[in-house]
A and B are shown apart, each in its own frame.
Chain A
Amino acid sequence: MTSHLMEARGATIRFGGLTAVDNVDMYVDVGEIVALIGPNGAGKTTYFNMLTGIYKPTEGDILFNGASIVGKAPHVIARQGISRTFQNIRLFPALSAIENVMIGRHMRTKTGALGALFKTPPARKEEQQIQADAEKWLAFVGLSGVANELASSLPYGAQRRLEIARALATEPQLICLDEPAAGMNPQETAELNLLVGRIRDAGVTVFLIEHDMKVVMEIAERIYVLDFGKLIAQGTPREVQNNPAVIEAYLGLGADALMAKHLDEGGDDA
C-alpha cells in the first residue's frame, strides 16, 4: 500500500517511434516541493501532460492518492486534486484576471443552467462566493490591483502568477508548475520562490519543472532528472548536483568540472 500522494510506476509514452517518456518511476509526497529537471526535449512537459490526463501513457501506471488516474479525462483528474500551469502560458486571454481565477472555481461550485438563466438566490449567492474566493487567490499571488485587467494585457511575470492563482483556485492537493520562472527577471524570480513556499505552507504539494537552476536549488527538496525520456538521477539538490550522469546530460562528456562549478555558482537562466 502506497502512502505517496502521486506515484508513477513504469510510466511510458510513445509517439510513433519516439519514446518521449521511458519507464519512469517517480513519487511525490504530501507537503513536498519536488522539481523535475532535464535538458530541452527530455520529456518533462510530456510527463506533466500524462500526469494531468492530456496524454495517456502507453504503458505503466500513475497513482494519485493510491488510485490509478491513467485514462481519466483531464477535467476528472483536475477534480481529483491535480492542477497545473502551462509552459507557454495558457490563460483565457480575452477574460479579465479575476474571471480567469473564477473559472478555477468552476469545478468547486455547482450552479446549473436553470440557476444561471433565472439568477436564483442560491445562484446569486454562489456567484458572490466565487468572486470573493477569486479575489482571495488574486491577493495570494499579489495581483489584487489588476483584477479587472485583461489577462493578455498583463506583464509576463504577472501572467505566470495569474496562472498559479487560477490553478490554486481549484483547491488542488498537488499543483504542477511548468517552468514558472521562465521569462522572469531576478526580482520576480525571488518573489516566485517565496510564493512557492507559501503555496506549500497553504497545504498544497508542489511539483515543478524548472530550467532556472537557482530556483531549483533554492526551493526544491527533491529533484528528478529526465534525459531522453529516461529518469537518470534523483535525490536532494546536493546529490543531483554532483551526479555525473546529470552533468553529462547537461553538458556532454568531459565537462564535469565545468558543470560542478556552474551549479555551485547557482546556475543561470537556462
Chain B
Amino acid sequence: MSLAQQNRPSVREWIKSGEPVIWLNAAAVTISALAVIALIVLLAVRGFSHFWPNDVLQATYQLPGQAAVPVMGELVESEEVPVEQIRGSGIAYDGDAAFLKRDLIKRGNRDLSGVDFGWYLDTYLTDISKPAEVLVLERREWGNFYGRLVAVQEQGESVVDVAANAQLAQQELAQRLQRATDLFEQIRNIERGEIGSINYAMEQLRLRGRALDLRADEMTAAAMTDARAAIAEERAALDQQYEALMAQLSELYQALNRDQIAVAAVDGREAVIPLAKVVRAYYPNSMSTFDKLGFYFAKLWEFFTDEPREANTEGGIFPAIFGTVIMVLIMSVLVTPLGVIAAVYLREYAKQGPLTRIIRIAVNNLAGVPSIVYGVFGLGFFIYIVGGNIDQLFFPEAAPAPVFGTPGLMWASLTLALLTLPVVIVATEEGLARIPRSLREGSLALGATKAETLWRVVLPMASPAMMTGLILAVARAAGEVAPLMLVGVVKLAPTLPVDGNFPFIHLERKFMHLGFHIFDVGFQSPNVEAARPLVYATALVLVVVVALLNISAVTLRNRLREKYRGLDM
C-alpha cells in the first residue's frame, strides 16, 4: 500500500471512521452561526433602507383585455411567480415564460384610491419613466401622496401656477411649507407643554377637592371653607391662563390653515392639500445622491427623536425608546441589590448543603419560568392586590379611577426585576467564585470582620461581575415583551412617564416600549404593508441595543477572568 492510498481510504472506510458524521456536526455549527448572521443582515438591509428616498416610477399598466391605467409609485419588491398561479388568478397570459416577474408598487394616495400598495406584472408595465417633476408629499394623514404640483394657494386663491412658472411654484411651496412646519411646531409645544401642565394642575386640584370632601368630618367648617377657597382661587388662575393660551392657539391655527397646494395624481384626479397636513415635500427623481443622503439622515433623526404618527406607522419611535430606558433604569435599581445580596448569601454566607441546593434550584426555576407567567403574576398580585390596596389606603380621592391599581411603569419594572433576578444572581455568583480565597483570608487575618471583608475587599473586586449581571439583565428586560403587555405597556402613551410636573417621574403612568412597538405595529396595525419598513427599523434598533449590551457584558466578564487568572493559585 502506498502512502497516497493510505491518505485516501475507500469510501466505506471513510464512512466507518465517522468522518461524515463529524462533517454533519460541523454543518450544524455553520448553519446556526449563519442563521444568526443572516438574521442581522436581513434586519439591517430592510431597516436601513427604509429612510432612503426611492425614485418614483411612472408607467402604463395594461392587462390583456383591459384598459390601460397609469401607475405611479415606488418599487418596493419583486418576485418570480409560476405562470400557473398567474393564470389561476384570472389573468389570460399568453406568453410562454414559465415564471413572471411581479412588482409590488407603493402607490400612496390612500385618500383617493383606498389602497396604497398594488402588485403589477412586470411584462405589462410599459413606458416606464422617472419624471423629474414628480412630487412626493409626506402627510400627517393618509400616508404619502405621489403626483404633480399644480398650484400653490393661499386661502383657496392661487398664488403661483406651475403652468406659469414651475421654478417659482416650487420655491413658494418650500417657503410656505417651512412656515407651516414652524407654526405646527409652536402649536404642538403649546398643546403638549403648557396646556398639558395646566390640565395636570387642574386634575390635581380636582383630587384635592375630592380629598377634602372625604375628610369633611375631620375638619372644622372654617378650615374647610378656607381650603375650598384656596382651591377655587387656584382654579380661577389656571382657567385664566388656559383662556389666554386658547386664544393664542386659535390665532396660530388660523395662520397655519392659510396655505394649500393643488396637486394632481397620475390618473389626472386633482386634490387640494392644506400645508398644515404636510410634513415633507420632495422631488425624489431630481434629487442628487448628496441631497438624498441629507434627506436620509433627516429621516433617521426624525425616527429617533420624533413621536409616532398615523397609528404608529410613520414618524419616530422616541417615546418607545424613552419608555424602554426609564423602565430598565427603575428595574436596575430594584434588581441589583437583591440579586447581589442573594449571590453573596449563596457564595459567602450559606453553608453549602441541602438548603443552598434548594435555593439554587429555585434560582434556576425563576430563570426557567415562562415570562408570561411573570406577567400574569404581576397583573394579579402586584396590580390588583398590592396596587388595589395602595389605592384604597393612599388615593381614596381618585376612586373609582385607579392610580396604582392599574398597569403602569412601577409594576412593569417590578415584574421585570423579578424576572431578571436570576441573571444578576448567576453572574454575580460566578464573579464571587473567581475571587481567590487567599484575599479573603488575608483580610480576615488582619482582623477585619466578615462584613468588612465583604464590603471592602470582596464586593469591590466583584463589581465588574455585578455590572455584567446587570447588563445582561438590562438586555433581557429590553427585549422582553410578553409580560409587559400585561403590566403596563401601551401602544400609544399620551404623555411620557417623566415630565416637568411634580413629582417628575410618574410611576403610575403607562408607557411605550420598543419590543411591544414592534409587535403592535407589525401585527395590530391597520396598514401592515405601510408599517413594515418601520418595524424592520425598530427591530434593528432593538437588536443593536441588545447586542451591544451583551457584547459589553461578555467583554467585561472576559476581562474579569483574565484579571484573576494570575491571582488564582
Query: Do A and B interact with each other, yes or no?
Result: no
